[in-house]
């Protein structure tokens, strides 16, 4: 039995069966959501999840910037939070409370305008605040764990909770959110600072990112986590380059020539080709160095077409 075979709970927002997801991802590939839920607000989301059969899987996605949606689609319910209900920003004396749908870069800009320092690194992270909390996203020497005070979540059973940062089990590019939970808002610490200096740091981060990463391509951000220093002193891109993978291609998928820890859809790639190419890279790195690269990009749904 599937989600569309069941009577779904009422949602004030929008419910769409067999909803295309691929075009919404940064890779521009992937299948459909069995059901796509776009709640109006956190209360709407909580009521929906309380009434949803526990047999139906739930998966939250943000702007799908660090995500491969597999070609066979995503069973169950995919929750996507819209800026209208989850995009508020509240400036406080020593921090910012942001809705989960706020773009990371936009939060950095709000902080700069308010003269709040410490959140500049968000300008280097493609995605939204909810996803950044869920994966403890980081860049340029800082991560969400360094600035997060608390996160509001709605659990799979529809319970609204405010969890302190230490309860989220934040580690390198991971958290221990309860399965099926959805982040709805977060509070980020900051300190008063000079507006021009803060804006200058944001501009420098964006310029560095533009110069070193394929930001205008169909990509998904960093593909693999950097290894634990105890395993290797080299970063993921260095291991990939040493294994001869820069520019490696499979169908319409390719390893970026500009930054070889980025996969690209060069035009017409399938999700299966992207994932299979990633697995080829992992195998070559393993053979060359003995290091087992770990995916940083999330992969969801049912494989279809070319399997990895």
- What does the pLDDT read at residue 304? 83
CATH 2.130.10.10 applies to domain 3-83: no
- 173 among known catalytic residues: yes
- What does the pLDDT read at residue 144? 98
- Catalytic residue (choose from 109, 273, 275, 296): 296
Q: Class of the 84-211 domain?
A: alpha beta
CB 249 within 8 A of CB 282: no
Q: In what order do the strands lie in the sheet with 263-265?
A: 249-250, 253-255, 263-265
- What does the pLDDT read at residue 306? 41
Q: Tell me the CA end-to-end span of the chain in Å, nearest whole number.
A: 27
- What does the pLDDT read at residue 308? 39
- Catalytic residue (choose from 38, 80, 173, 218): 173
- Catalytic residue (choose from 25, 128, 175, 222): 222
- 296 among known catalytic residues: yes
Domain coordinates in residue numbering, the chain: 3-83, 84-211
Taking the C-alpha atoms of residue 225 and residue 246, their distance in angstroms, rounded to an integer, is 17
Q: In what order do the strands lie in the sheet with 32-38?
A: 14-20, 32-38, 74-80, 58-61
- Helices 195-212, 104-113: crossing angle, 10 deg rounding: 150
- 175 among known catalytic residues: no
Parts of the chain with a pLDDT under 70: 1-6, 305-308
Taking the C-alpha atoms of residue 108 and residue 255, their distance in angstroms, rounded to an integer, is 29
Q: Which tokens sit at 265?
A: 């859809």
The structure's pTM equals 0.91
């Amino acid at each position: 039995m599937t989600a569309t075979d069941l009577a779904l709970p009422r949602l004030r927002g929008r419910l769409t069966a067999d909803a295309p997801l691929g075009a919404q991802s940064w890779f521009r590939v992937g299948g459909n959501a069995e059901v796509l839920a776009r709640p109006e607000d956190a209360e709407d989301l909580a009521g929906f999840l309380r009434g949803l059969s526990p047999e139906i899987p739930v998966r939250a996605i943000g702007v799908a910037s660090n995500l491969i949606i597999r070609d066979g689609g995503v069973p169950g319910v995919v929750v996507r939070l819209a800026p209208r209900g989850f995009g508020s920003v509240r400036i406080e004396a020593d921090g910012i409370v942001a809705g989960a749908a706020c773009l990371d870069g936009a939060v950095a800009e709000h902080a700069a305008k308010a003269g709040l320092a410490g959140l500049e690194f968000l300008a280097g992270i493609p995605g939204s605040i909810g996803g950044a909390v869920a994966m403890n996203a980081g860049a340029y020497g800082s991560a969400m764990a360094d600035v997060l005070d608390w996160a509001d979540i709605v659990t799979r059973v529809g319970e609204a909770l405010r969890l302190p940062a230490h309860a989220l089990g934040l580690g390198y590019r991971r958290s221990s959110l309860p399965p099926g939970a959805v982040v709805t808002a977060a509070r980020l610490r900051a300190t008063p600072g000079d507006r021009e200096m803060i804006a200058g740091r944001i501009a420098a981060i964006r310029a560095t990112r533009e110069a070193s990463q394929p930001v205008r391509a169909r990509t998904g951000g960093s593909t693999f986590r950097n290894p634990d220093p105890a395993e290797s002193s080299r970063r993921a891109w260095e291991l990939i380059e040493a294994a001869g993978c820069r520019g490696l291609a499979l169908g319409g998928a390719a390893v970026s020539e500009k930054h070889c820890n980025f996969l690209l859809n060069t035009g017409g790639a399938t999700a299966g080709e992207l994932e299979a190419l990633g697995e080829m890279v992992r195998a070559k790195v393993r053979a060359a160095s003995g290091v087992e690269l770990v995916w940083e990009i999330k992969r969801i749904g049912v494989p279809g077409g070319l399997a990895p």
